[in-house]
C-alpha cells in the first residue's frame, strides 16, 4: 500500500512539473517534397516525417512545401596532442544547410545552418574501434540534425 502511494505521488510530481514525452512533430504542411530523398539525410528525414500527418510526396508539384538540403559536410580536427606529439582527441563536426520553399519558389524558411560537434578520444592501439565509434557519432549527429530540422519545420509559417 505504501509503495502504491509513493508511486502515485511520484506520478503527480512529474505531471505537476510539466514533464511530457516528446511526441512526433506536428508540421504545418499537408504535403512535403524532399529534394535529394535518395541521400542518407533525405532518407532519414523522410522516415522522420512519415509518422506525422504530413505526406511525403514524390514530385515537387504535389507538395505544399519543398525541403532542399543545400549542403552537408563532415569535418575532423585535432583537439589535443600527447606529450609525444600523438593525437589524443579529435573534434568531429557535422554541418547541414537547408531551406524550405513553396511551389512558386518563395522561401518559407531561408537557408538555415545546423552545426553539431562531438569530441572523441583516440588511441593508436584501438584504430578499428575508434573508426567505428567515429562513424556512430556521425550517424548520431545526423539523427540530431534531422530532429532539429523537424522542430524548425514545425515552427515554420506557410506562405498563404
Mean pLDDT of 128-157: 93
For 69-122, what is each residue's pLDDT tens digit? 999 999 999 999 888 888 899 999 999 999 999 988 899 999 999 999 999 999
| Contact of 90 with 74, CB cutoff 8 Å | no
**Confidence class of residue 144 from pLDDT cuts 50, 70 and 90?**
very high
Q: What is the mean pLDDT of the chain?
A: 88
The three state secondary structure string of 78-134 is EEEECCCCCEEEEEEEEEEEEEEECCCCCEEEEEEEEEEEEEEECCHHHHHHHHHHH
The predicted model scores a pTM of 0.79
What does the angle CA 61 – CA 64 – CA 68 come to, to the nearest 5 degrees? 80
Query: What H or E segment, with its residue span, contains residue 8?
Result: helix 2-16
pLDDT band, residue 124 (cuts 50/70/90): confident
Cross-strand pairs, 71: 97
Question: Which stretches does DSSP call E strand in 4-86?
Answer: 31-35, 55-56, 65-81
Say yes or no to pLDDT of 4 above 60: yes
pLDDT of 12 strictly over 90: no
Q: Answer yes or no: is pLDDT of 8 > 60.
A: yes
Residue with the larger pLDDT of the pair 158 and 33:
33
What DSSP element (H or E) covers 10? helix 2-16
Report pLDDT for 28. Answer: 92
Amino acid at each position: 500500500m505504501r509503495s502504491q502511494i509513493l508511486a502515485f505521488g511520484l506520478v503527480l510530481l512529474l505531471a505537476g512539473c510539466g514533464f511530457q514525452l516528446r511526441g512526433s512533430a506536428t508540421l504545418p504542411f499537408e504535403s512535403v517534397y524532399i529534394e535529394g530523398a535518395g541521400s542518407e539525410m533525405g532518407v532519414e528525414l523522410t522516415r522522420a516525417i512519415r509518422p506525422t500527418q504530413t505526406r511525403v510526396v514524390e514530385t515537387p508539384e504535389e507538395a505544399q512545401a519543398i525541403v532542399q538540403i543545400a549542403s552537408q559536410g563532415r569535418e575532423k580536427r585535432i583537439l589535443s596532442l600527447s606529450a609525444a606529439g600523438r593525437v589524443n582527441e579529435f573534434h568531429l563536426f557535422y554541418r547541414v544547410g537547408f531551406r524550405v520553399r513553396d511551389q512558386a519558389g518563395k522561401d518559407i524558411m531561408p537557408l538555415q545552418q545546423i552545426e553539431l560537434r562531438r569530441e572523441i578520444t583516440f588511441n593508436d592501439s584501438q584504430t578499428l574501434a575508434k573508426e567505428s565509434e567515429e562513424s556512430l557519432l556521425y550517424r548520431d549527429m545526423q539523427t540530431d540534425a534531422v530532429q532539429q530540422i523537424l522542430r524548425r519545420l514545425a515552427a515554420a509559417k506557410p506562405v498563404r
